[in-house]
Structure 1
Amino acid sequence: MSMINNLRAAVVRQPRRRDGGDLGLNPGATPSAVVDCAVYQQGKRIGETCSPREAARQVKAAHQSGPGSFSWIGLHEPTEAEFEGIAQRFGLHPLAVEDAVHAHQRPKVERYDNMLFAVFKTVRYIEHEQLTPTSEVVETGELMVFAGPDFVITVRHGAHSSLRALRLRLEADAEGTGLLAKGPAAVLHAIADHVVDNYLLVAERLQTDVDEIEYGVFANRGGSGADVGRVYQLKREVLEFKRAVTPLLRPMLQLSEPVARLVDPEMQKYFRDVADHLARVSEQVQGFDELLNSLLQANLAQVSVAQNEDMRKITAWAAIFAVPTMITGVYGMNFEHMPELRWTYGYPTVLGVIALICVGMYRGFRRNGWL
């Protein structure tokens, strides 16, 4: 009987979700998906971390006393079930929700009614002692941002794209530039600026790898298969970096233009600065790609030249050894009437003639650069 009562009590005491709903009864984000959730009023954080439901309630209550409040919800790799409740509560477009959950999207900025949906590719440089034909140089992740009139929702995919330091810096700077007071567009700009700054750091580190490859290719005049493998591997990593940078340039330019009506005019100049930095990174990456193409062709040319030199040496030595082979082959035939066949000095004379011909051919090939 006591066992039955315990089971009934366990059923009654259902565990509560972080967003205030019951597990399995009210869709929302699990504690493992929600990294941080806070409400900001006039650029300052109100209270501690709360649930998405509580954040929506606080923003609604704050609007009654005046504008300037919004919520910022950060999630890390949520599932469809985990994200469903938040999507319904904030009216997110289903297509954008699908992109945010499944990831593997192209960098872009799209508009859905009064909301902006941005996709950024985050990039991290992987430290390595020496570049090899199998070295991984860059690691990419994804960062999605929903920016509405009174909310910002960030969805991260990957282990290296944390926004905690950025959030703390913006909160600490409330009395300085006060970008958080400008609303969700300021958060979108801060995230874009953070991502592009990481691009600049990765580009600087890649420059070192490209310089190392360039020195190795031209220092090894003979060329080698290892150099080809290193150049090709670095080119693949640069192309992965390029796919993260290049598609983002046009959306950043659009956010910096007056046609972006969802962005405060005061924030457009900030996006213009991000676009300038992104253009510089894009030019660097394009230069890396073109230089690696040239290095790959130069290395292949070196390998081809080395093979031609080897073939010339083999051909020269084959020609030299063909002389004694031919002469001894002629004298090896069992004919009775052969030149100087019964002469006492015939054998050493023939050997001397063979040696003179071979030495003459060797000097000729050496003088022409074949040996």
Structure 2
Amino acid sequence: MLINCVAYQEGKKLSDVPVEDISEYLKQPDTFVWVALRDPTKDEILTMQEEFALHELAVEDAARGHQRPKMEEYGDNVFMVAQIVELGGDELNVGEVAIFAGPNYVLSVRRDANQGFLGVRARAEREPHQLRKGAGFVLYALVDAVVDRYFPVVDMLESELESIEDHIFGRVGEQRANIERLYALKRKSQVLRHAVIPLLDAIGRLYGGRVPTIVCDTQDYFRDVHDHLFRIAGRLDAIRDTINTAIQVTLSMVAIEENDISKRLASYAAIFAVFTAFAGVWGMNFEFMPELKWKYGYPLALLTMVGVCGYLYRKFKKAGWI
């Protein structure tokens, strides 16, 4: 679906452009065309390929979708893919934006993402001195908007991790729920990491050293984006390490609890074993056993059992087993 198609000249909006007239506007000096598509059909992609003379391999990737974040050069043109990660309740919504950028055009193709880039266009139009830099600045603005959406996700992951840590040493029986929450959080952090790390490498190719022609005037901006991504990657590494540590601590708590239960069971088994031993001895029906003829033999036997068991209970209690 076509969101908008606008021509700009000298950093100012010239007019909305019909799709069939795009190639005509591209011929005008100091003019570039900025087109935004959302979940386009195959025919819409092919139309844009014809109007902008896009490379067939890049078009194939954009049409198929589900690409790994990357940056590719085709002559003077740049093709970039970035994953859009948005908060969507308990789960993360992962979309994608493919950006074609040339000397006089920018085409963005957004898929499976709820939030668009109208704010990016409005911001660029408010800064004609920046928009005058052409496709390089628009490419930066789009990528920067994608990266900015990563920060709320990282904040959410850190907040949820802190909440789980508060319950690690909580009531007995919560360990299973804590481990399930930790693994769910680890999976979410991996989703964001898979979007950040490849994009970090791609952005690193847009500043310093040899860079595509269209971004020569915007290298400082891409270095700033790279710095943001590097900070996010560092925070994700810290989250991953903390999750692994929390899982190990939780499993250790489970092992300690199981050990305590085993000691309690062993202690009570030892105490009742005394009853069994004494009852077994006195339960043998031999004729010539002096204690069988005693008047107080039975009470004495019970008293002996209770006394020995009480002594064992006291010793186990003092040792912390009960």
What is the TM-score with the length of structure 1 in the denominator? Answer: 0.83
Mapped to 2, the partners of 1:369 and 1:126 lie a distance apart of: 48
Partner residue, 1:25: none
1:59-98 matches, within 5 Å, as 59-60=26-27, 62-63=28-29, 68-98=30-60
Which of 83, 86, 92 aligns to 1:121? It is: 83
SS in 2 for 1:106: coil
Amino acid across the alignment from 1:199: Y
1:53 partnered with 2:23? no
Amino acid across the alignment from 1:46: L
Partner residue, 1:156: 110
Percent sequence identity is 37
Amino acid across the alignment from 1:39: A
- Unaligned ranges ≥5, structure 1: 1-32, 128-134
CA contact (8 A) 2:84 2:113 kept: no
Amino acid across the alignment from 1:38: V
- Distance verdict in 2 for CA 1:311–1:339, change over 3 Å: farther
Partner residue, 1:42: 10
SS in 1 for 2:293: coil
CA contact (8 A) 1:223 1:303 kept: no
Mapped to 1, the partners of 2:288 and 2:9 lie a distance apart of: 117
Mapped to 2, the partners of 1:150 and 1:338 lie a distance apart of: 112
1:105 partnered with 2:67? yes
Amino acid across the alignment from 2:8: Y
1:342 partnered with 2:270? no
SS in 1 for 2:13: strand
Partner residue, 1:139: 93
Mapped to 1, the partners of 2:147 and 2:290 lie a distance apart of: 87
1:221 offset after TM fit, Å? 6.8
SS in 1 for 2:54: coil
1:223 offset after TM fit, Å? 5.4
1:251 partnered with 2:202? yes
Which of 119, 122, 128 aligns to 1:165? It is: 119
1:232-247 matches, within 5 Å, as 232-247=183-198
Deviations along 1:46-89, whole A, 9 cap, x unmatched? 123x33222222232x22xxxx2111111111232331121122
1:181-260 matches, within 5 Å, as 181-220=132-171, 224-260=175-211
1:230 offset after TM fit, Å? 0.6
Amino acid across the alignment from 2:78: L
1:160 offset after TM fit, Å? 2.2
1:338 offset after TM fit, Å? 3.2
- Structure 1 ranges of 4+ moved more than 4 A: 220-223
SS in 2 for 1:237: helix
Partner residue, 1:325: 276
1:339 offset after TM fit, Å? 4.7
Which of 264, 283, 297 aligns to 2:248? It is: 297
CA contact (8 A) 2:206 2:215 kept: no
What RMSD in Å do the two structures reach over aligned CA positions?
A: 1.6
1:367 offset after TM fit, Å? 1.1
Mapped to 1, the partners of 2:13 and 2:255 lie a distance apart of: 65
Amino acid across the alignment from 2:74: Y
CA contact (8 A) 1:222 1:306 kept: no
Amino acid across the alignment from 1:47: S
SS in 1 for 2:292: coil
Amino acid across the alignment from 1:59: L
1:222 offset after TM fit, Å? 6.7
1:218 offset after TM fit, Å? 3.3
Mapped to 2, the partners of 1:339 and 1:265 lie a distance apart of: 109
CA contact (8 A) 1:252 1:271 kept: yes
Mapped to 2, the partners of 1:161 and 1:142 lie a distance apart of: 11
Q: Work out the number of aligned pairs and report it.
A: 322
What is the TM-score with the length of structure 2 in the denominator? Answer: 0.95
CA contact (8 A) 2:102 2:214 kept: no
